[in-house]
Amino acid sequence: MSYALSGRHFLKLLDFTSEEIVELVDLAQGLKEKKHAGIPHRYLEGKNMVLIFEKTSTRTRCSFEVAGHDLGMGVTYLDPSGSQIGNKESIKDTARVLGRMFDGIEYRGYGQEIVETLAEYSGVPVWNGLTDEFHPTQMIADLLTIRENFGDFQGLNLVFMGDAKNNVANSLMVASAKMGINFTACGPAECMPNDELVATCRAIAAENNCEIRLTSDVEEACTGANIIYTDIWVSMGEPASLWEERIRLLSPYQVNAKVMAMAADNAIFLHCLPAFHDTDTSVAQDIEARFGLTEMEVTDEVFESAQSKVFDEAENRMHSIKAIVLATLG
C-alpha cells in the first residue's frame, strides 16, 4: 500500500495543499472506522518509530504509541531525560543517528527550528508533535471533528478565544485558510498572531474564499460562529509567573454560556486539552488559592455541555496521527 505523501515530513500545514490535508482527514476517518469495527490494520509491520518528547503530553504520546502499535510498528519513547539531544549531542547528529535506526521520528518540544533540523538531517520522515510555533497533528484531529459535525468545511466560522499567538491558534489559522473556513482570532492586542503569519494566511484564505479576522470584541467575533475554540492561558514551557498577567488580559475572553449563546444554534466547542474548567488538578487548586478562580479559559458548564466535542476531538488525535504516520511511511 503506497500513498502520495510517502516519504514526506509533517512539520507544519503550510507545507501541504488543501487537497493533501483533506486526504489525511479522509484517511483518518477510514482508520477510525476500522478501529471501531475491530478490523486489524497492521500496515506497517516491521517498521519502527521513535518519539522524542522534550515537553510531556498525555494525548500526543498515547496517540502516537497506540497508532504505532495498531499499525504493527515498534515504538520507542524518549522523555526529556532519555536523550542527549541538544545537550551532549547536536540536533543534526541526533537526527543522523536516529535516522539509521528508525523509519520515522516524532519530536515534541520547543523551537520549530529543532524539528526542521531533524527533518533536514535524519533521512526519514519527521513528524511535529508540537513546537512553540505550530501544532499540526492537532489540526488533522480538529478538522476530522469539525467534518464529523458539519459534513464540510467551506464557509464555516471558527473563533479562537484567548491567547491567539500560541501554537494552536497559529495552526488553526493556517488550517482554516487552507480549508475555506472563516477564522477569527478574538483576544487582546498583546495576544494576536504575528503579522507575517497573518499576511500569509490571508493570501491563502483569498484563494479559498474565506477570511482571516482579528478582533478584541467578543460579540463581534462570536455572533453566528459555528466553532468556538480555546486553549489554556499559559502554554507548556512558559513560566508560571505569567499567570497573573494572562488572567488579567484573558479573563474577558473566557468561553462561557453567554459566549455560546452568541454562536450559531449548531455551534460546537473545541479545546485541545488539558483544560482548566474546574479545580480537580493541583495547578487549578493553586490558581484558586492565589487568584480566587475556579474556572479559567472555559467554564465547567460549557465544557460538560452537549455542544462540547472535546473528547471526540481527543480520540481523533489517535486516528489522525495514525493517518499521518501511515501516509508518510506507507
Active site residues: 108, 135, 138, 231, 272, 317
CB atoms within 10 A of CB 257: 10
Sheet containing 268-271: order of strands: 212-215, 182-186, 157-161, 227-230, 268-271
What backbone torsions phi and psi does residue 314 show, to the nearest 5 degrees?
-65, -45
Radius of gyration of the chain from its Cα atoms, rounded to whole angstroms: 19
Cβ distance 322 to 71 under 8 Å? yes
Burial of 13 (0-12, 13-18, 19+ CB in 10 A): buried
Torsion of CA 279, 269, 182, 317, to 10 degrees: 90
Q: How crowded is residue 35: how many other Cβ atoms within 10 Å of its Cβ?
A: 18
Q: Environment class of residue 194 by beta-carbon count within 10 Å: exposed (0-12), middle (13-18) or buried (19+)?
A: exposed
Cα–Cα distance list, 108 to 115, 143, 154, 161, 312 (Å)? 8, 21, 31, 24, 22
Find the distance separating the first CA and the last CA of the chain, reported in whole Å.
Answer: 6
